[in-house]
Amino acid sequence: MTVARKTAISPLAAVLGGGLTAAVLDITYAFVAFGLRGVSPARILQSIASGALGKAAYRAGAGSALLGALLHLAIALVMAAVYVAASRRLPALNRRPWLWGPLYGIGCYLVMNYVVLLARFGPRPAPPLEVLVGGVAIHMVGVGLPIALFAARAALSPPLPTASSPPERPSRS
């Protein structure tokens, strides 16, 4: 019987893999959950674009839906980049991605909903309990966890040089 070995990936691959996975899982959840409430995917993406365009996003058609998709992806990539960078400095994050990833997902949910959206749109009514629970759950399992798992794979590669460490010299043979 052969044992599969985990292979290292670069930190950039971890950011891209974790961010893309998180973006796809999160938006798929939104399409399904809010689709069951009668909201179209285009409207969901336009609501993301409304962070940049305001109410005009809802009148801009497919262009603002595309902008919303790109913004959603960019936000997920930033979330992944932050975690991967932190995991390079705090190796404990890589030893327990099944714990730290979901906790990071909760943090992402809180920052997005109670810092970013609050700053952009002001106070909003509390969401229905099922929306709150679903939002937290998808951020734990669909955002934080995949980002942490990709970061843990990147931790198998050598650490990045710091400003205080001298560059490696090629050996003379």
> Per the domain annotation, does 163 fall within a domain?
no
Neighbour tally for 8: CB within 10 Å: 13
| Residue 161, SS3 per DSSP | coil
> Per the domain annotation, does 110 fall within a domain?
yes
How does pLDDT run across 86-108, given as a tens digit for each residue? Answer: 999 999 999 999 999 999 999 99
Domain that holds residue 137: 11-154
How many separate domains does the chain show?
Answer: 1
> Per the domain annotation, does 104 fall within a domain?
yes
> Per the domain annotation, does 5 fall within a domain?
no
> Per the domain annotation, does 120 fall within a domain?
yes
Task: Kindly calculate the radius of gyration of the chain based on its CA atoms and give it in whole angstroms.
Answer: 19
Q: How confident is the model at residue 156 (pLDDT cuts 50, 70, 90)?
A: confident
How does pLDDT run across 30-52, given as a tens digit for each residue? Answer: 999 999 999 999 999 999 999 99
> Per the domain annotation, does 46 fall within a domain?
yes
Q: How confident is the model at residue 112 (pLDDT cuts 50, 70, 90)?
A: very high
> Per the domain annotation, does 172 fall within a domain?
no
> Per the domain annotation, does 119 fall within a domain?
yes
Residue matched to tokens 């730290």: 100
